[in-house]
Chain A
Amino acid sequence: MTKFLGYERQDGSVGVRNHLLVLTPMDCSIEPARQIAARVDGAVAVTQHHGCGFDSMVANTLIGTGRNPNVAGVLLVGLGCETLTCEILAEGIRPTGKPVETLIIQEEGGTVKTTEKGVRILRGMAEEVTELVREPFSLSKLILAVECGGSDATSGLAANPAVGVAADMLVDEGGTVMFGETQEMTGTQHVLARRAVDEGAVAAIHAMIDRQELRMRAAGIDSRFMSKGNIEGGLTTIEEKSLGAIRKGGTRPIQGVLGTDRDGFDYPGRSGLWLQDGTGSDVPSVTSMVAAGAQVVAFTTGRGSTTGHAVAPVLKVTGNPLTYSRMGDNMDVNAGTILDGSESLRSVGERIFRDVVEVASGRMTKAEALGYHDFIVYKTSGLAERLLEVCPPEALRDSRGRSSTAALEPGF
Chain B
Amino acid sequence: MKKAIQIDGSDNVATVTSDVVGGASVEVLSPEGVTLMEPVVLDAVPFGHKLALRAFSKGDEIVKYGEVIGVASGEIRPGEWVHTHNVESARVPTSAYEEAGR
Q: Interface residues, chain A, CB within 8 Å of chain B? A: 153-154, 157, 161, 187-188, 191, 222, 224-228, 231, 233-234, 236-240, 243-244, 247, 251, 338-341, 343-347, 412
Contact = CB atoms under 8 A, between A and B. Distances in A.
Contacts of A338: 5, 17
Interface residues of B, number: 37
Nearest to B70: A237
Interface of B: 3, 5, 7, 15, 17-18, 27, 29, 31-33, 46-50, 62, 64-70, 82-84, 87-92, 96-97, 100, 102
Contact of B68 (A153, A161, A231, A239): A239
Given A157-B5, A344-B32, A345-B7, A240 B64 contact: yes
A226 B62 CA distance: 18
Nearest to A339: B17
B87 A237 contact: yes
Q: Top 8 closest A-B pairs, CB basis?
A: A153-B48, A344-B33, A234-B48, A237-B89, A234-B49, A240-B69, A339-B17, A243-B65
B91 A238 contact: yes
Contacts of B89: 187, 236-239
B102 to A, nearest CB: 6
B17 to A, nearest CB: 4
Contacts of B83: 231, 234, 236
Contacts of A225: 92, 96-97, 100, 102
B84 A236 contact: yes
A152 B50 CA distance: 15
Nearest to A343: B33
B47 A347 contact: no
B45 to A, nearest CB: 9
A251 to B, nearest CB: 8
Contacts of A161: 7, 31, 65
B48 A157 contact: yes
Contacts of B15: 157, 234
Given A225-B97, A225-B100, A227-B102, A239 B70 contact: yes
25 contacts: A153-B48, A157-B7, A187-B91, A222-B100, A224-B92, A224-B96, A226-B97, A234-B83, A236-B69, A238-B92, A239-B89, A239-B90, A243-B64, A243-B67, A243-B69, A247-B7, A251-B66, A338-B17, A339-B17, A341-B33, A344-B29, A344-B32, A345-B7, A346-B31, A346-B33
